[in-house]
Structure 1
Amino acid sequence: MLAVFAHPDDAEISAGATLAGWTDEGRSVHLLVLTNGDRGSDDPGVSRVELARTRLKETETAAALLGLASVAILDVHDGDLANTPEIRARIARQVREVRPGIVVTCDPTVWFFGDRYFNHADHRAAGATTLDAVFPGAGNPHFFSDQLGDELTTWSVPEVWLGWTLEPNHHQDVTGRIDRKIAALAAHRSQVEGNMLGFFEEWLPREAEEAGRAIGVQHAESFRVLNLM
């Protein structure tokens, strides 16, 4: 399994309980973060270099709590993510190395959540870039062919799961794993200072309960699943 998200705490918020469930089942789950999170602060006095280092450490701590097999963070500035051949190549390489049965990312079609929030540009870019890297990228030998050799071959991803979607067609039972999701998010201390952790401790279980009602379980996470094979 491979999760590809824009910022160091996105995977936890969007799919943390699902990732924890997969690792509990003995599956290898890998995380690729496409920006270093160096603008994730409203404090003008914060060093962006130090913030990026902090967020890497926080991501590694959170990954350990979720049982992830590996974490990689690209050296791309927060807010600068774009769907470029270079980023698509990096994602395609990770896909070819990991050979995942499922890739999890953001739904790039979502711009607005109600009337109070619109989706971060990096989130939209992460979803679109990941989809383009998966197809036709990683599975086609004529894309990023310089990567290919005896130890690296093409890989066609069977399924893509899009989180933060307004068009879910799958609700993943995560009953018993919401506390771990919140604990992993809390490891991102630079992002949940003040009242933010309390907000997530209230909001995330409520969202999971709503998703769970769709399939008759206590908690679930919702995705738009694309079956590509």
Structure 2
Amino acid sequence: MKSLICVQPHPDDNEVGAGGLIAMLAQKGCRIVFVTVTDGRYGSSDPSLSPEALVDIRRHERLSAGRCLGVTEQVELGFEDAGEYDERDVVEALLPVLRRVRPEMVMTVDPWVPYEAHPDHQKVGRATAAAVLFAGNIAYPDAGAPCHIPQVGFYASSYPNAFVDVTRHWEAKMSAILAHQSQFVNAEWPLLQQYFEYQAAEYHRVLRSRSGLDELAGTATEARFAEAFKVLSTRQLHFFPAAVFS
């Protein structure tokens, strides 16, 4: 893959959902563009922090995390965290980026996860999928010339169909996550780290099983980690109910 756009609702979602894959692709020379939809102004329980101060803090953290992973370009759409924007607003803001970069894949959070309660995740995931569809037709002519985007990948999905070994890039992923100090450098981090490692080890177990390598599991002397994605072709994003089983 030579070009990838990663659309995140908040300034740390890409790292948590796909940091290992992003680091791997960047190392191979892929152009990686981060698009951050909201400013993350309410991502803290510290009453001493104003929302405006947190916006600035999280911007610096996001840029630092991107350097850890080798991100090529960062784009801010500037919507307010948990704001009253709608999906059409995100589509209109995102389309010029998609048509300018013309990526081979767009990646975002899966908005159709059961029990996902955050409206930013719901709206951004759905809007990104819609923007991938609209990118290839004559809708929104002011957003640039149409371009076909072959596929979309959803991270944090309950229905993954693709698993990628990211063991060699796990430390880069963890470094990028911890660059978001306002979010992760706290008493909860050891438990979160344990959860991330457990989940990634389970994904790697599935990868081994699908690859017919499960018999080697008992010989492994070090932890192995994978990330999981729901990958769909653009055609599967419309009038394709069987996509959930793909």
Fold similarity call, TM over 0.5: yes
Aligned partner of 1:207 in structure 2 is 199
Range that drifts further, 74-83 or 188-197: 74-83
Flag the 1:199–1:168 CA change in 2: closer, same or farther, 3 A. same
Determine the C-alpha separation between the residues in 1 that align with 2:153 and 2:87. Answer: 22
| Alignment: residue pair count | 218
Asked if 1 retains the 8 angstrom alpha-carbon contact of 2:99 and 2:143, the reply is: no
Partner letter of residue 130 of structure 1?
T
> Pick from 121, 136, 143: which aligns with 2:119?
121
Aligned partner of 1:115 in structure 2 is none
RMSD: 1.5
Determine the C-alpha separation between the residues in 2 that align with 1:56 and 1:95. Answer: 22
Aligned partner of 1:44 in structure 2 is 47
Percent identity over the alignment is 30
Aligned partner of 1:160 in structure 2 is 152
1:63-212 alignment, distance < 5 Å: 63-80=66-83, 82-112=85-115, 118-135=116-133, 137-141=134-138, 143-148=139-144, 153-212=145-204
Q: Which runs of 5+ in 2 are unaligned?
A: 214-223, 236-246
Range that drifts further, 196-205 or 65-74: 196-205
TM-score (norm 2): 0.84
Task: String of CA shifts for 1:75-103, please: whole Å, max 9, x gaps.
Answer: 21111264433320111111111111111
Residue 190 of structure 1: CA displacement? 0.6
Task: String of CA shifts for 1:93-143, please: whole Å, max 9, x gaps.
Answer: 11111111111111111132xxxxx442211111101011111x21112x2
Bigger Rg, which one: 2
SS of the equivalent of 2:207 reads coil
Residue 199 of structure 1: CA displacement? 2.5
Partner letter of residue 140 of structure 1?
N
TM-score (norm 1): 0.90
Q: Which runs of 5+ in 1 are unaligned?
A: 113-117
